[in-house]
Amino acid sequence: MAKSKRGYLNLGLPWLLNIILAIIPVTSWLLGGITRISRGHWFMGILQLLLIGEIIFFFVDLITVIIAKDLTIFA
């Protein structure tokens, strides 16, 4: 397991597994919202879980996981 607590749910999952989770819309939606809430960004996490900003968050999460290996925007 990775040393740093990055990625979905702050579990420190491998980069490739985080990309796979970001590609699947259901896991991106659910795990992204939970991760944002657990990191203290309640408003953005609730917006994502209510499907209001799902399309935007889907692409943002996918790009940031590929580039930064972590959810960095609003998380």
Query: From residue 70, how far is each of 26, 37, 48, 52, 61 by CA, in Å?
Result: 18, 15, 17, 22, 8
For residue 75, the model assigns a pLDDT of 80
Q: What is the pTM of this model?
A: 0.86
State how far the Cα of 75 lies from the Cα of 68, in Å rounded to an integer. Answer: 13
The whole-chain average pLDDT of the chain stands at: 89
The answer on pLDDT for 22 being more than 50 is yes
The answer on pLDDT for 3 being more than 70 is no
pLDDT in tens, 40-74: 999 999 999 998 888 889 999 999 999 998 998 88
What b/e sequence results for 28-43 when a residue is b if at least 16 CB atoms lie within 10 Å of its CB, and e otherwise?
A: bbebbbbbbbeeebee
- Indicate the DSSP class of residue 62: H
